[in-house]
Structure 1
Amino acid sequence: MRFTPLTTTTLLAAAAAATQAATTACFEQAPSALGFPINFDITPTRPNAISFLVGAEHTGPCTLVAKFPAGYPITSTGSDLVNVTALDGPAQGALVGALRFRADGTTTVINSFVCADVMAYELAIAQGEGEVRFSEIQGAGLFMEVGDCF
């Protein structure tokens, strides 16, 4: 089979487009905020809300994750198990995850969902008296991974 210069150029362009699509198939969405840092102070009487503007054009999956570099300052006292409840979407009002925030350099998957334009959650101490405090900055905190990131 012989390839003409036009055929070769077309094949190379298609391969480049496929490579670009593969590298942009996953991205990390930071929470919606007017500015950073976002300071969280979660207590039994003061839950915190968080939302992500994902965009209706993304089909997902959308995976809610927590990630903190090793040694990142997180203050926890008493009961530090945090429930994550959906504030919108098909699971509105449902407990969608629970976690303890740890600064150990790993990513904790909270749950995976079908993407929606806006995705909102409430963070609240699961039971008893306790408090969890941290600041969300670039690279540390809660994020929505959009697409197949694994």
Structure 2
Amino acid sequence: MTNAIETRLAELGLALPDSPAPAANYVPFVISGNLVFVSGQVSMDADGLIKGVLGDGMTTEEGAAAAKLCGLSLLAQVKSALGGDLSRLKRVVKLTGFVNSTADFGDQPKVVNGCSDLMVEVLGDAGRHSRSAVSAAALPFGVAVEIEGIFEIDA
């Protein structure tokens, strides 16, 4: 069954990946009331993890592309949480982005925009959200970006 969100993804030439499995002792998402809390999704594509340090060999544009992939993984986790029914997704509430970057790199917001822009492209106004974009001295497995999210759903 295709819904408006999946139709929009297809129009953009995008597909959701399989929901990534947790890499440690946690669950990929928790539903509480009408909110889905999705654990941090690391930058990865079909070839594996996207590693790098922004400000040291990785460009802001490459980081934003990695963040966009985190966004697709977030949506995949929401779809999984909703038993495959993305039509129950009402809005993105908050994203928190962590950027593996040097101490003097200051474009974390531009990197995390890769995910934020995706949410608005796919969901329209329902994709607008509150957000934090912070630097990290290191991220798990050396990935470039990790993003977690809170989503409102029809309960």
Alignment TM-score, normalising by the size of structure 2: 0.34
**Structure with the larger strand share:** 1
**Structure with the larger helix share:** 2
Question: Greater relative contact order: 1 or 2 (C-alpha under 8 angstroms, separation 6 or more)?
Answer: 1
Alignment TM-score, normalising by the size of structure 1: 0.35
